[in-house]
């Protein structure tokens, strides 16, 4: 067992970056290897305008929002560049260091911790133990009498996005509730859409949004057993396309029966998630003053004062406000209207102009409701409960050719949500829509495939009678298509947990245009995702044992609090040499072995069975490699670290209902002698998860 001592701090950061840069001669704007600058200069250094070390205040007022850029390190261009995150993902710049090799995840974590620790010149000594059979030697913190208590009772302050963590550790990524995502997560999602839109300029590029959307037009399955399996694959394939452009992005789901959508009177609710609504920003308003034709500077000032940041579910309400604020009726028509649509598309890549959620026109030409015009009703919680209570796949998801049935899930909520979000254009004018040969141009009735006209700006300016979600031919061009169908997939997944033996017929059928079969779709874990309402991860690392783990208080936003289940997860726990209990307390950072389990803040426990002393030679009980060698087809090693879950629903709900706005996780490790065991538990991370 080889042993080598080294030191953390700025010198260690330089060592890591120099080793990765190798023989690269990149000069980073003329300063050479910027990480050799004096520390006070490095803190102010900007690479092409991007600050390499974020100022402390840029991390935000709360480090517990669950987003990817909440800590100082995650906001630093250096860490973003080493991880290959935008704009260092090849879109503007290559991954750091330029011309060198990628830095290992463990070394990036060391640099991130150095930034979060306040950029110390010198750090604490660590010992590297080279163990046979390990891919990367673990970093063991030197525990001395003068620092032991600090390590054992340290408050873990870093909270990161669950998908960023899962991507690094090879765990299932999480599809989250759209209304519970943080601004950072939403912006990353928008960025992924922009990347696919950018490919539309190459008509034959199969990765473009246009071509992916055309798959639904040409191959979609409805009205029988392939409806759910086919769309599960379609969602997966689209999610992979997004992740090819922006790693770590997953498709969120829209739980359309949440209270803010007023399911019994949906016209009085939000109509559509705020993240998909139209809004202007100061920057897009400034752009309107330089557009062709431009708006006046006075109009821009008035728009910034009264409309910037305000969300609009419908385009008609937006233009009503534009005219009221600017006193310019012409801004709602012609070229001015087109420029405003340009501005809205630039502000929000998830907004779509050919969408009229909850807007319907009766035969008399007056505004009406979905119930009266279409004879559908918006799905209510009891509708979903009745569907989930069905017992056969024939009734739930549809029957085969030999057992014909249109699944209830396919009808309502699926069909209804298409009709609800598509809606009817209140400004539709049949006379104005007459084409050159007298035929009404309607994207939903006769879609022209040749030329890939979808998502061209000319299409976005049109005034069709129905929104694109109204028809299978155009539905997938509206970004709202995806969170609706992800929620349908989530409902199927929930139903599968209750009815594991109720399967579609014809499991060997191939789902065109891919080669997957229906049988391939039955387990979502195979596709690398799970469903959660919201999740917060606290990275720990296997470096030092955890005696009493205490997290930073984690803010729980209002939309998250209507969860069905809450759980604490322990990530990648290796085999333990001794048995133990792990008790979980919420909002009780001083809990210890003497805290009784009938305490109001006690949330649950986990029992871990230890394997005892190692019976083998050197390396027998080492952690196996994170990834097996190529062509190593043996099953998983018995030493593979495991994840553990502790349900904390009742305690979490009780504390939040009593007025708590945050939850703080405390873990107390109890040995076989019922005393605290401070040298036993090691784990990669802890997470707090909320499920619908």
Give residue-wise pLDDT tens across range 499-530. 999 999 889 999 999 999 999 999 999 999 99
Q: Exposed (0-12), middle (13-18) or buried (19+): which is 245, by Cβ within 10 Å?
A: buried
Give residue-wise pLDDT tens across range 544-594. 788 789 999 999 999 999 999 999 999 999 988 889 999 999 999 999 999
- What per-residue confidence (pLDDT) applies to 153? 53
- What per-residue confidence (pLDDT) applies to 443? 55
| pLDDT exceeds cutoff 90 at 135 | no
Q: How many C-beta neighbours within 10 Å does residue 538 have? A: 23
Out of 357-366, 442-451, 460-469, 570-579, which region has the weakest mean confidence (pLDDT)?
A: 442-451
> How many CA atoms are closer than 13 Å to the CA of 78, on its beta-carbon side?
29
Determine which helix (DSSP H) or strand (DSSP E) holds 262, and give its type and residue range.
none
Q: How far is Cα 550 from Cα 587, in angstroms, rounded to an integer? A: 10
- What per-residue confidence (pLDDT) applies to 164? 78
- What per-residue confidence (pLDDT) applies to 512? 94
Q: How many C-beta neighbours within 10 Å does residue 559 have? A: 18
From 61, 103, 62, 99, select the one nearest 80 (Cα to Cα).
103
Q: Mutual orientation of helices 183-198 and 227-245 as an angle, nearest 10°?
A: 90
Maximum mean pLDDT: which of 140-144, 313-317, 638-642: 313-317
- What per-residue confidence (pLDDT) applies to 57? 56
Please report which confidence band the pLDDT of residue 363 belongs to, taking 50, 70 and 90 as the band edges: confident
- What per-residue confidence (pLDDT) applies to 624? 86
- What per-residue confidence (pLDDT) applies to 445? 55
The answer to whether 486 and 175 have CB atoms below 8 angstroms apart is yes
Q: Exposed (0-12), middle (13-18) or buried (19+): which is 108, by Cβ within 10 Å?
A: buried
- What per-residue confidence (pLDDT) applies to 402? 66
Evaluate the omega torsion of the peptide bond into residue 293 and state whether it is cis, within 30 degrees of 0. Answer: yes
Q: Tell me how far CA of residue 301 lies from CA of 237, 325, 331, in angstroms.
A: 44, 10, 15
Please report which confidence band the pLDDT of residue 113 belongs to, taking 50, 70 and 90 as the band edges: confident
Q: Which residue has the higher pLDDT, 218 or 657?
A: 657
- What per-residue confidence (pLDDT) applies to 17? 94
Q: How far is Cα 230 from Cα 234, in angstroms, rounded to an integer? A: 6
Whole-prediction pTM: 0.77
- What per-residue confidence (pLDDT) applies to 455? 63
Please report which confidence band the pLDDT of residue 146 belongs to, taking 50, 70 and 90 as the band edges: very low
Place of tokens 């055309």: 214
Give residue-wise pLDDT tens across range 40-93. 889 889 888 889 999 875 433 333 333 334 578 888 999 999 998 888 887 777
- What per-residue confidence (pLDDT) applies to 331? 96
| pLDDT exceeds cutoff 90 at 24 | no
Determine which helix (DSSP H) or strand (DSSP E) holds 170, and give its type and residue range.
none
């Amino acid at each position: 067992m080889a042993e080598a001592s080294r030191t953390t701090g700025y010198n260690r950061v330089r060592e890591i970056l120099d080793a990765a840069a190798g023989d690269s001669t990149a000069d980073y704007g003329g300063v050479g290897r910027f990480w050799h600058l004096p520390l006070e200069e490095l803190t102010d250094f900007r690479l092409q305008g991007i600050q390499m070390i974020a100022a402390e205040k840029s991390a935000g007022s709360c480090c517990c929002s669950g987003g990817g850029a909440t800590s100082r390190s995650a906001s630093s261009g250096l860490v973003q560049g080493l991880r290959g995150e935008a704009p260092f993902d090849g879109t503007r710049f290559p991954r750091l260091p330029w011309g060198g090799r990628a830095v290992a995840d463990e070394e990036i974590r060391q640099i991130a911790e150095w930034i979060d620790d306040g950029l110390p010149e010198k750090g604490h000594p660590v010992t590297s133990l080279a163990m046979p059979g390990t891919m990367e030697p673990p970093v063991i913190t030197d525990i001395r009498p003068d620092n032991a208590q600090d390590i054992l009772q340290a408050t873990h302050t870093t909270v990161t996005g669950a998908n960023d963590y899962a991507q690094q550790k090879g765990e299932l990524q999480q599809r989250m509730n759209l209304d519970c995502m943080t601004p950072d997560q939403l912006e990353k999602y928008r960025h992924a859409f922009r990347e696919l839109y950018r490919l539309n300029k190459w008509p034959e590029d199969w990765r473009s949004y246009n071509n992916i959307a055309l798959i639904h037009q040409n191959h979609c399955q409805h009205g029988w057993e392939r409806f759910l399996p086919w769309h599960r694959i379609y969602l997966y394939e689209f999610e992979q396309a997004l992740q090819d452009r922006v790693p770590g992005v997953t498709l969120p789901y829209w739980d359309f029966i949440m209270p803010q959508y007023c399911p019994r009177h949906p016209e009085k609710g939000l109509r559509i998630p705020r993240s998909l609504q139209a809004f202007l920003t100061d920057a897009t308003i400034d752009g309107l003053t330089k557009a062709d034709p431009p708006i006046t500077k006075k109009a821009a000032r008035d728009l910034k004062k009264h409309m910037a940041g305000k969300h609009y579910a419908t385009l008609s309400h937006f233009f009503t406000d534009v005219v009221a604020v600017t006193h310019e009726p012409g801004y709602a028509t012609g070229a001015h209207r087109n420029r405003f649509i340009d501005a809205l598309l630039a502000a929000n890549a998830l907004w779509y102009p050919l969408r009229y959620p909850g807007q319907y026109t009766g035969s008399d030409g007056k505004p009406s409701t979905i119930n009266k015009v279409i004879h559908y009703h918006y799905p209510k919680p009891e509708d979903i409960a009745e569907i989930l209570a069905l017992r056969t796949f024939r009734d739930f998801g549809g029957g085969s050719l030999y057992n014909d049935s249109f699944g209830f899930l396919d009808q309502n909520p699926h069909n209804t949500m298409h009709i609800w979000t598509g809606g009817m254009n209140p400004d539709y004018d049949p006379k104005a829509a007459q084409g050159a040969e007298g035929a009404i141009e309607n994207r939903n009735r006769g879609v022209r495939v040749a030329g890939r006209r979808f998502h061209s700006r000319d299409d976005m300016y049109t005034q069709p009678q129905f929104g694109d979600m109204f028809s299978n031919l155009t539905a997938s061009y509206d970004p709202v298509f995806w969170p609706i169908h992800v929620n349908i997939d989530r409902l199927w997944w929930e139903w599968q947990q209750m009815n594991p033996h109720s399967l579609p017929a014809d499991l060997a059928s191939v789902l065109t245009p891919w080669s997957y079969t229906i049988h391939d779709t039955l387990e979502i874990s195979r596709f690398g995702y799970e469903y959660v309402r919201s999740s917060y991860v606290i990275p720990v690392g296997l470096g030092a044992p955890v005696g009493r783990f205490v997290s930073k208080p984690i803010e729980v936003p209002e939309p998250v609090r209507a969860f069905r289940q809450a759980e604490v997860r322990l990530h990648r726990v290796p085999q333990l040499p001794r048995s133990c209990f792990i008790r979980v307390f919420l909002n009780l950072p001083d809990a210890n072995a003497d805290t009784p389990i009938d305490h109001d803040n006690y949330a649950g426990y986990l029992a871990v069975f230890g394997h005892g002393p190692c019976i083998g030679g050197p390396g027998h009980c080492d952690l196996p490699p994170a990834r097996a060698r190529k062509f190593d087809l043996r099953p998983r090693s018995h030493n593979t670290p495991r994840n553990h879950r502790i349900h904390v629903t009742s305690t979490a709900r009780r504390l939040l209902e009593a007025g708590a706005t945050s939850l703080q996780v405390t873990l107390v490790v109890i040995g076989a002698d019922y005393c605290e065991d401070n040298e036993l538990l090691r784990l990669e991370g802890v997470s707090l998860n909320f499920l619908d």
